[in-house]
Structure 1
């Protein structure tokens, strides 16, 4: 048998479930990735309905005020996304991405099961009342019932964050970046990931939202629990097919911190003229390891000081002129420094995507409450739940994503010569512009909705009891535009962070997307409070977004404010994106 001929079938740095080196013909590829896409689809089925309709549960069942309920939802979403960093570190360093995803799925199932129990038993909830009626005195959830609610919510947040942190990168691990035959498949995988989200979201926004609104929240949470359970079973069943990334045993985040500490400690040293004098381990001596070696870059040169070799005489028993034993907090590898530079270069792009999630948070909270006040009937009898409105852009994406991936991308590839048609940064920029347009359209739609309320003397009416004579489909424009923005920006971000990051930082880099979304949700809570405080003295309602009667609020002005902020954010993004230097491709990984 020709051993050399067998080498291309081995996948370096990845093993099967028994710890043996993974084989290309047996492990990974689109066949294994398909199971992960199905799992992500079921997970999204279980959770997307909650991200748009949980505001109704908070205000209608747990009796939070509208602004407080919106803040509870955005805090929940933000926590879910920020926890992706913790899970990514654990996945890369200790337990691996497969185990991280499996454990997270089980925790998410437990959270949904606990919420199902609370929604089913009336003694675990506040007594019913009409929270929209300003004359009613509704008792907000408290004590033991509040503890059950928040334990369930944040178990769900931790599990969902863990799935988002580990599943996409575990899916990308099924492809070999050094094999041209699999490179385009990995790009297609990220597009299919959005398609899986949309298909799962379509089921969630139709079936689950209808069940929540018409059969009860216990049935809604119960179906979410079943969907999550099925997803976990499918994911676990694919274990024999997966390529599993070998854990490193050291935290990439710690290594980045070491670079900054070492650079600060040696800030007074002068950089050598020749970058070859900077510290790097011997590549031949490390050939048996899986270290990645990156070339020196000319950006952020102040970090290069972390790799300056020092000579300190007569220290710790060393002879005069002898180099002291390297400490990782004082001397870092050149590749380690370059990793820190790559992450630092991504930070401005990361920051410029926060505003987009801030806009998304409003579509999941205040836009749903807009829909509650409007006529949701179709064909005279069927009623559309307001939280199901995002099904319109989701349905469009289900159609357009295959067209984009199989027709538009290959066509653009021929015109531009770029493997993904257009660059990742161009794709992100298109989405940022569309998010600004979406908020402007949302403001115009709110002006129209309030105009109908004013013309029918219904500004002071109880919205739930007396819907306005205007179709809920008017809100579809803002959802539709933002749905297209999703396709460009969020998938573009996932591809950008994964492709730009070095091997040691794959999971953590993709968490940039989820972290930016987390900060967007948290920032939503902050800006709602700031806007209410700033406008409290100039409006009769006590602020643009104060109170539970949205007909008397100034939501249109809030939407226009977000549109302006989004446009300014895009201009800042344009400045940094034009100056961003894509990372140099690393030489082959030795070992």
Structure 2
């Protein structure tokens, strides 16, 4: 709330500063203090999300008893509907909040978000009497300290496969912590493999958006959609697919596989990765068609031209990424929550969140590297500003 309050104030001050009626010379631009205040609000929001998302989801999942088969199945369903709710929020943000910010004012748009966060916090507090709370274990420590102690115990063993055999409570505790550390380290290869999905996920808000900017985005005759509006196609497909997956596919698969969740967690992850592979393959074919259309109409050297090709060509790739998210993103949430020791589950969900963050960095590094290599001979980069001479395909 504080972050959104600060960014609301920063946006309001920015409008006042640039107003022609202001006594301040708007040509000087914002002051250093104003810029610092704005960036501080952004980083405060980012830090708050980094703390809230893993802890909030872990807390919600803890409301279900893992030892009860019915509650365990309900917990699996929670991850689906949690992601469904996030898709609703994203859809509203892109469709409504962005419109308010562009047409009414950025201060009003951010102010709306601040009020929403205030109401959300109030509702969370009202529900306190109904929550299932667990008494902390005696001598409980933070997840980071516990993980550090477990890794230290593992490092003190003669090798990763050796356990303590000297007997005694202290040795048993060290053996338990050593085994806990092994369990966490066994997740590292899965986490590393998921980075590939994080790279694909990064394209939805970047290169997919760049494709849409070059296409004919008119609807209902003359109304032109902004490129960012096309990003709602992904959340919409999530909204449509989550109920189908949770209420139709899971019961059907449960009868076939015998697993309460229909698919095992790794099967769900693998399915999401396969669908994402198909999505970027379709995106490559669509981009190849767009380049061919640009050549046919002599638009190769006109970077600002709208290629006579409908935005509807992008629907399949956005929809497929939405379906992939339901499999892979929700699968990662449940996997890293389920496979972590009880005291480290919020840390496990933080691992899931890091996939999208690190995937974005890897994507940026790949684009920078390919851009430098493909433009080194003086030719057009694959990521040229003139998309019609580029090779997103």
With the length of structure 2 as denominator, give the TM-score of the two structures. Answer: 0.87
1:309 to 163, 166, 171: 166
| Contact 2:79-2:334 at 8 Å conserved across structures | yes
Q: Which secondary structure state, in structure 2, belongs to the residue aligned with residue 429 of structure 1? A: helix
- 2:220 is aligned to 379
Partners of 1:546 and 1:400 lie apart in 2 by: 36
1:495 aligns with 2:371: no
- 1:544 is aligned to 382
Q: Cα distance, 1:218 vs. partner?
A: 3.5
- 2:204 is aligned to 363
- 1:473 is aligned to 312
Superimposed CA distance per residue, residues 390-415 of structure 1 (whole angstroms, 9 cap, x where no aligned partner): 32232232232122212221221122
| Contact 1:262-1:331 at 8 Å conserved across structures | no
Show the 5 A alignment for 1:23-102.
none
Partners of 1:454 and 1:524 lie apart in 2 by: 28
- 2:360 is aligned to 521
Partners of 2:61 and 2:32 lie apart in 1 by: 44
- 1:197 is aligned to 86
- Gaps (5+ residues) in structure 1? 1-108, 128-138, 269-299, 311-322, 557-591
Show the 5 A alignment for 1:277-356.
300-302=160-162, 304=163, 307-309=164-166, 332-356=173-197
- Gaps (5+ residues) in structure 2? 20-27
Q: Which secondary structure state, in structure 2, belongs to the residue aligned with residue 333 of structure 1? A: helix
Residues 551 and 246 of structure 1: is their aligned pair in 2 closer, same or farther, counting only changes over 3 Å? Answer: farther
Superimposed CA distance per residue, residues 211-259 of structure 1 (whole angstroms, 9 cap, x where no aligned partner): 3444443343333333323322222221121123444531343333334
Residues 118 and 251 of structure 1: is their aligned pair in 2 closer, same or farther, counting only changes over 3 Å? Answer: closer
1:228 to 113, 117, 123: 117
With the length of structure 1 as denominator, give the TM-score of the two structures. Answer: 0.60
1:166 aligns with 2:88: no
Q: Cα distance, 1:428 vs. partner?
A: 0.3
1:396 aligns with 2:288: no
Partners of 2:17 and 2:303 lie apart in 1 by: 24
Q: Cα distance, 1:354 vs. partner?
A: 0.8
Q: Which has the higher helix share?
A: 2
| Contact 2:154-2:177 at 8 Å conserved across structures | no
Residues 185 and 206 of structure 1: is their aligned pair in 2 closer, same or farther, counting only changes over 3 Å? Answer: same
Superimposed CA distance per residue, residues 16-36 of structure 1 (whole angstroms, 9 cap, x where no aligned partner): xxxxxxxxxxxxxxxxxxxxx
When Rg is computed on C-alpha atoms for both structures, the one with the higher figure is: 1
Q: Which secondary structure state, in structure 2, belongs to the residue aligned with residue 335 of structure 1? A: helix
| Contact 1:174-1:243 at 8 Å conserved across structures | yes
Residues 209 and 469 of structure 1: is their aligned pair in 2 closer, same or farther, counting only changes over 3 Å? Answer: farther
Q: Which secondary structure state, in structure 1, belongs to the residue aligned with residue 309 of structure 2? A: strand
Residues 125 and 346 of structure 1: is their aligned pair in 2 closer, same or farther, counting only changes over 3 Å? Answer: farther
Partners of 2:105 and 2:307 lie apart in 1 by: 25
Q: Which secondary structure state, in structure 2, belongs to the residue aligned with residue 540 of structure 1? A: coil
Q: Cα distance, 1:140 vs. partner?
A: 10
Q: Which secondary structure state, in structure 2, belongs to the residue aligned with residue 195 of structure 1? A: helix
What is the count of residue pairs matched by the alignment?
A: 384
Partners of 2:107 and 2:294 lie apart in 1 by: 34
Q: Which secondary structure state, in structure 2, belongs to the residue aligned with residue 555 of structure 1? A: coil
- 1:504 is aligned to 343
Runs of 4+ in structure 1 off by over 6 angstroms are 123-127, 139-142
Superimposed CA distance per residue, residues 145-187 of structure 1 (whole angstroms, 9 cap, x where no aligned partner): 5423322221121122222111111101111112233222111
Superimposed CA distance per residue, residues 338-389 of structure 1 (whole angstroms, 9 cap, x where no aligned partner): 2112111111111111111111112112222322232221111333222122
Partners of 1:195 and 1:375 lie apart in 2 by: 30
Q: Which secondary structure state, in structure 1, belongs to the residue aligned with residue 308 of structure 2? A: strand
| Contact 1:386-1:472 at 8 Å conserved across structures | no
Residues 113 and 190 of structure 1: is their aligned pair in 2 closer, same or farther, counting only changes over 3 Å? Answer: same
1:261 aligns with 2:152: yes
| Contact 1:118-1:124 at 8 Å conserved across structures | no
Residues 494 and 476 of structure 1: is their aligned pair in 2 closer, same or farther, counting only changes over 3 Å? Answer: same
Q: Which secondary structure state, in structure 1, belongs to the residue aligned with residue 158 of structure 2? A: coil
| Contact 2:153-2:175 at 8 Å conserved across structures | no
| Contact 1:428-1:489 at 8 Å conserved across structures | yes
Q: Which secondary structure state, in structure 1, belongs to the residue aligned with residue 259 of structure 2? A: coil
Q: Cα distance, 1:509 vs. partner?
A: 1.6
Partners of 2:98 and 2:290 lie apart in 1 by: 23
Q: Cα distance, 1:484 vs. partner?
A: 0.7
Partners of 1:456 and 1:215 lie apart in 2 by: 38
Residues 141 and 535 of structure 1: is their aligned pair in 2 closer, same or farther, counting only changes over 3 Å? Answer: farther
Q: Which secondary structure state, in structure 2, belongs to the residue aligned with residue 244 of structure 1? A: coil
Partners of 2:8 and 2:297 lie apart in 1 by: 40
Q: Which secondary structure state, in structure 2, belongs to the residue aligned with residue 420 of structure 1? A: coil
| Contact 1:390-1:476 at 8 Å conserved across structures | no
Partners of 1:194 and 1:428 lie apart in 2 by: 15
1:440 aligns with 2:281: yes
| Contact 1:377-1:384 at 8 Å conserved across structures | yes
Superimposed CA distance per residue, residues 306-351 of structure 1 (whole angstroms, 9 cap, x where no aligned partner): x3538xxxxxxxxxxxx8x95xxx9843322221121111111111
Residues 401 and 264 of structure 1: is their aligned pair in 2 closer, same or farther, counting only changes over 3 Å? Answer: closer
| Contact 1:375-1:471 at 8 Å conserved across structures | yes
| Contact 2:201-2:356 at 8 Å conserved across structures | no
